[in-house]
Amino acid sequence: MGRLNGKTAVITGASSGIGLCIAKAFAQEGAAVAICARGLEKAQTAADSIRSSGAQALALPCDVASDDSVNALYEAVVREVGPPNIVVNSAGYYAISRFLDTPLDVYERTITVNYLGAVRMIQKFLPDMIEAGHGKIVNIASTAGKWGSMFQAHYNGSKHAVLGITKSLAIEFAKTGVNINAICPGWVETPMFDEGMAQFADAANMTIEETRGVWLSRVPMGRFLEPEEIGPLAIYLASDESNGMTGQALTISGGMVLI
């Protein structure tokens, strides 16, 4: 305990799923956390649950697809808790559909949230980290950023882009004291995962049970991950223990082997 004492973390997409579990894990390690999500009510509920354990948590609205929203988030965070030491880009948009049936606006939405959302957050919060001489940026990517997946060209493309910017910025800012890394989860049991499985089943003309069986067959551990299992890896990347690591994309996937 206490690996993040004295740290302040801003986490997008933190009202549910992986983002929420990372926020709770950070709070348990002593960080003050800003719970950021499009829905303020859900963010407040999440922050209340963290504060009930004695930790510091702040709920703030943010749509990472909007420049104005990210700018307002930055101003609110700095005003309330000061420049953060840690930024976790966990907000995401996930949809599954056949390539020829996917309209361009789905590609635009996916890129705007998954890739440009991270760009907006980094552009806004990175300068303060550089000035302070230290900071941690953790991008939640996906195994979809390392391989191709059926019916997910738009999603996979966005996550490849997240890994690209992670590596590029890590090199550009390697001497500033800011570490920029990514986590690549495999299949994790979240509401977004459930929606994606239903969409895949529809695109593949399969039942959800058949789809679940096919997906499980690709996981050597024979199970999907729980969102709480991502938290410890995020803690490591946000802590001083990972000061020598930057530009890495760490996979946690139940043993799925990636090329």
| pLDDT number for residue 149 | 86
Q: What angle do CA 87, 2, 129 make, to 5 degrees?
A: 30
| pLDDT number for residue 49 | 93
- For the whole model, what pTM was predicted? 0.95
What letter does residue 16 receive in the DSSP assignment?
Answer: S
155 included as an active-site residue: yes
Q: Given 74, 93, 115, 155, which residue is catalytic? A: 155
Q: What is the pLDDT of residues 16-27, one digit of tens each?
A: 999 999 999 999
| pLDDT number for residue 96 | 87
Check if the beta carbon of residue 59 is closer than 8 Å to that of residue 47. yes
| pLDDT number for residue 150 | 87
What is the overall mean pLDDT for the chain? 95
Exposed (0-12), middle (13-18) or buried (19+): which is 45, by Cβ within 10 Å?
Answer: middle
Q: What is the pLDDT of residues 60-114, one digit of tens each?
A: 999 999 999 999 999 999 999 999 999 999 999 988 889 999 999 999 999 999 9
Q: What is the pLDDT of residues 72-85, one digit of tens each?
A: 999 999 999 999 99
Confidence check: pLDDT of 259 > 50: no
Exposed (0-12), middle (13-18) or buried (19+): which is 233, by Cβ within 10 Å?
Answer: buried
CA–CA gap between residue 195 and residue 220 (Å, rounded): 23
Q: Which domains does the chain have, with CATH numbers?
A: 8-186+226-252 (3.40.50.720)
- Identify each DSSP E strand in the chain by its residue range: 8-12, 32-37, 57-61, 86-89, 135-140, 178-185, 249-252
CA–CA gap between residue 256 and residue 252 (Å, rounded): 9
CA–CA gap between residue 150 and residue 36 (Å, rounded): 31
Confidence check: pLDDT of 236 > 60: yes
| pLDDT number for residue 77 | 97
